[in-house]
């Protein structure tokens, strides 16, 4: 039976409101940009990428980055645009999933993530993560391929073992966040392995990804002496991404659990290939 995460009384008003706000954002960015058409194309890419990625809840950067690196000359600008847009759509998704989230279930994941994110933020500022990206990208792509063509039985674990694996999974997210901008890689895989339904999975890895992205951004900013900047254009770029996210959530509601798991596997493949591509870009 389908689960509605978007309340019925808002199903028309919210997308209409987001569309109107997005239209104003388009106009403001176009009016203030030296290349209006380029800015509009960038915002369309963000909207489409958010729509596609929000169907499963991750891989926004992998999808958007494939186009944005060809549209924007500065890699730093690309990262900032994707980062703020990603945080915006993750926050919107968490708000919509709020009543399904069991925050106590997140404690071991976040504990593990907080343990590793600080040292690996420090490491990523001092070394090239090329080889790491290659290895983790290959693993994620291969695992996604395996899950796509074969659906193994759900993993059964005891309470203590489950808590330990949750902690380790969260710790891995604290590593892949700074290195690959993908803190949800391990936790998305583990939630799928548990055999949970689509809402249970997203109510765990969606808030985890949001919290770890914000924490990683704050730590990297502090370690770089506050060099990461926020200006109004980043916020404006994020507005149409939220509109795309809303459409993606509507599509998510229509998926069966089996369809959702297959899409998760497909998006893991996309994310893995994206990491491998980044490695060759270093």
Q: What is the pLDDT of residue 155?
A: 85
Which percentage of the chain shows pLDDT scores above 70? Answer: 83
Confidence of residue 90 (pLDDT cuts 50, 70, 90): very high
Q: Is residue 205 very low, low, confident or very high in pLDDT (cuts 50, 70, 90)?
A: very high
Residue 6: the pLDDT is 64
Rg of the chain over all Cα atoms, to the nearest angstrom? 18
- Please state the rounded mean pLDDT for residues 235-242: 84
Dihedral sign, CA of 129, 132, 136, 137? positive
- The CA-CA-CA angle for residues 237, 266, 279, to 5°, reads 70
Going by C-alpha positions, the residue among 20, 25, 18, 93 that lies closest to residue 53 is 93
Task: Give residue limits of the domains in the chain.
Answer: 11-281
| Greater pLDDT, 214 or 25 | 214
Rounded CA gap, 219 and 76, in Å? 17
pTM: 0.83
Burial of 33 (0-12, 13-18, 19+ CB in 10 A): middle
pLDDT of residue 219 exceeding 90: no
Give the pair of three-digit tokens for residue 76: 């730093």
CA–CA distance, 235 with 86 (Å, rounded to integer): 11
* In contact, 143 and 273? CB cutoff 8 Å: no
DSSP secondary structure of 170-219: HHHHHHHHHHHS-TTHHHHHHHHHTT--HHHHHHHHHHHHHHHHHHHHHH
Q: Who has greater pLDDT, 38 or 257?
A: 257
Centre a 10 Å sphere on the Cβ of residue 36 and count the other Cβ atoms it contains: 14
Distance of alpha carbon 270 from alpha carbon 275, whole angstroms: 9
pLDDT at 280 (0 to 100)? 65
pLDDT above 90: percentage of residues in the chain: 36
pLDDT value for 279 = 63
SS3 196: coil
pLDDT band at 229; cut points 50, 70, 90: low
Please write the tens of the pLDDT for every residue from 113-122.
999 999 988 8
Q: What's the mean pLDDT when you consider all of the chain? A: 83
At 1, the pLDDT band (50, 70, 90 cuts) reads very low
Q: Is 14 exposed, middle or buried (0-12, 13-18, 19+ CB in 10 A)?
A: middle
* Residue matched to tokens 């380790």: 168
Residue keyed to tokens 């893991």: 268
Name the nearest CA neighbour of 44 among 57, 32, 29: 29
Read off the pLDDT of each residue in 54-72 and give the average, rounded to a whole number.
84
pLDDT category of residue 106 using cuts at 50, 70 and 90: very high
The whole-angstrom separation of Cα 166 and Cα 186 is: 10
Please give the Cα distance from 244 to 236 (Å, whole number).
14
DSSP 56: T
């Amino acid at each position: 039976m389908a689960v509605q995460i978007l309340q019925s009384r808002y199903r028309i008003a919210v997308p209409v409101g987001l569309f109107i706000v997005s239209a104003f954002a388009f106009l403001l960015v176009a009016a203030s940009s030296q290349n209006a058409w380029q800015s509009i194309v960038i915002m369309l890419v963000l909207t489409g990428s958010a729509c596609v990625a929000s169907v499963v809840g991750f891989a926004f950067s992998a999808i958007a980055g494939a186009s944005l690196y060809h549209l924007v000359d500065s890699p730093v600008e690309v990262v900032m645009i994707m980062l703020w847009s990603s945080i915006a759509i993750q926050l919107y998704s968490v708000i919509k999933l709020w009543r399904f989230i069991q925050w106590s279930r997140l404690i071991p994941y976040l504990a593990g993530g907080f343990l590793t994110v600080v040292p690996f933020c420090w490491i990523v500022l001092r070394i090239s993560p090329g080889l790491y990206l290659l290895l983790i990208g290959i693993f994620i792509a291969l695992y996604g391929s395996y899950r796509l063509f074969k659906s193994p039985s759900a993993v059964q674990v005891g309470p203590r073992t489950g808590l330990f694996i949750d902690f380790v999974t969260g710790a891995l997210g604290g590593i892949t966040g700074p290195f690959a901008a993908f803190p949800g890689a391990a936790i998305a895989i583990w939630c799928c392995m548990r055999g949970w339904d689509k809402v249970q999975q997203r109510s765990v890895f969606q808030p985890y990804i949001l919290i770890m992205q914000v924490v990683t951004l704050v730590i990297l900013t502090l370690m770089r002496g506050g060099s990461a900047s926020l200006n109004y254009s980043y916020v404006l770029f994020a507005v149409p991404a939220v509109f795309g996210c809303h459409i993606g959530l509507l599509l998510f509601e229509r998926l069966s659990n089996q369809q959702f798991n297959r899409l998760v596997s497909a998006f893991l493949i996309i994310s893995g290939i994206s990491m491998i591509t980044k490695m060759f870009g270093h």
